[in-house]
Homo-oligomer: A and B are copies of this chain.
């Protein structure tokens, strides 16, 4: 008779966007990859690319379903729209899979569906197909939603493909292989807002904050930025936060990344919250922010576009890509340096 130890079962960390999840993908899900597509499954990017089509999926298990600054409906549209935008695609159509617990109030469902409709309109995407399932009371915590999405190469950029290639988007899509030494690392706004807002919306956590989630579709902003050019890669720091994202970039590009803690935009109230909770703001999930790797000669124009856009007004250059270091290194506010490792997982479970 064997005993089941923790390595034989799924834990919350396996869904939290850090090293546990990466290991699960490498050990189990990777066997599904057959290399199909321009950006296949084994690249483990935000989305797949097949021909000219960007295709992605995301399930949302956030708790609570209504939180400061958003709800599971807005999040479901935003998460998938942003995954497509981060590949350099223009999101067109979403599917909607809703799984409900028996006894779920119809009024809450209507509120969520209205939020989905409004966010889709804001992001200029269409909900084109759906599915509804119901599980018995006690078999599901209220509601989970899956959205999958289709995108295409933005028409606005068609004429400029040669320029884009010259400006180091050789694969036409925004992937880590485009990243080169010297690229500047930009974050489009303050980090940690979403995770802190969700946590403070939970009952019984013994922690309150007025911070609202940053959940917002970034495809409009990304289109403006791509028209400038010079973006090697873009990625949204959701589960696992900026720390997991930069580790990913470093591993996939084979390059080092150097960031300065003093440059990372963090709201005072978020800083207070993470200090109180003893967690690292770089490991917290965001839902309305992107991290960009930008060719140095384009940084000034990119920053100008960011600062003129409501979703980019707090953007900052936080570091650069280097070939003389390994992994992700941060100059701390006290002047020293430390490695930013891959987190085990986001310290706040079920934030998306």
Binding site for B on A (CB under 8 A): 4, 7-16, 21, 24-25, 28-29, 31-34, 36-37, 40-41, 47-48, 50, 53, 55-61, 92-93, 95-107, 109-110, 113-114, 116-117, 120, 126-136, 139-141, 144, 146, 148, 150, 349-350
Give A300 to B55 CA distance when docked, in angstroms.
40
Known: A95-B148, A140-B141. A32 touches B116 (CB 8 A): yes
A-B contact pairs, 24 of them (CB 8 A): A9-B104, A10-B100, A10-B109, A11-B103, A12-B136, A15-B100, A15-B135, A25-B132, A31-B113, A32-B113, A32-B116, A32-B130, A36-B126, A50-B92, A53-B53, A55-B95, A55-B129, A57-B95, A133-B350, A139-B140, A140-B141, A144-B144, A148-B148, A150-B150
Report how many copies the assembly holds: 2
* Contact across chains for A55 and B128 when beta carbons are under 8 A apart: yes
Known: A53-B150, A133-B15, A150-B150. A58 touches B97 (CB 8 A): yes
* Contact across chains for A99 and B53 when beta carbons are under 8 A apart: no
Residue of B nearest to A92 (CB): B50
* Contact across chains for A102 and B10 when beta carbons are under 8 A apart: yes
Residue of B nearest to A132 (CB): B15
Among B21, B48, B93, B113, contact of A93 (Cβ-Cβ < 8 Å): B48
* Contact across chains for A128 and B31 when beta carbons are under 8 A apart: no
Residue numbers in B under 8 Å from A56 (CB-CB): 95, 129
Give A13 to B103 CA distance when docked, in angstroms.
11
CB distance from A39 to the nearest CB of B (A): 9
Residue numbers in B under 8 Å from A101 (CB-CB): 10
* Contact across chains for A117 and B53 when beta carbons are under 8 A apart: no
Residue numbers in B under 8 Å from A24 (CB-CB): 132
Give A191 to B106 CA distance when docked, in angstroms.
33
Residue numbers in B under 8 Å from A103 (CB-CB): 9-11
Residue numbers in B under 8 Å from A9 (CB-CB): 102-106
Question: Which 8 residue pairs of A and B lie closest in terms of their CB atoms, listed nearest first?
Answer: A15-B134, A148-B148, A57-B95, A48-B128, A139-B141, A36-B126, A146-B146, A48-B129
* Contact across chains for B128 and A37 when beta carbons are under 8 A apart: yes
CB distance from A295 to the nearest CB of B (A): 27
Residue numbers in B under 8 Å from A127 (CB-CB): 32-34, 41
CB distance from A277 to the nearest CB of B (A): 19
* Contact across chains for A28 and B106 when beta carbons are under 8 A apart: yes
Known: A55-B95, A55-B150, A60-B133. 7 other contacts (CB 8 A): A4-B105, A29-B130, A32-B116, A32-B130, A53-B150, A133-B350, A140-B144
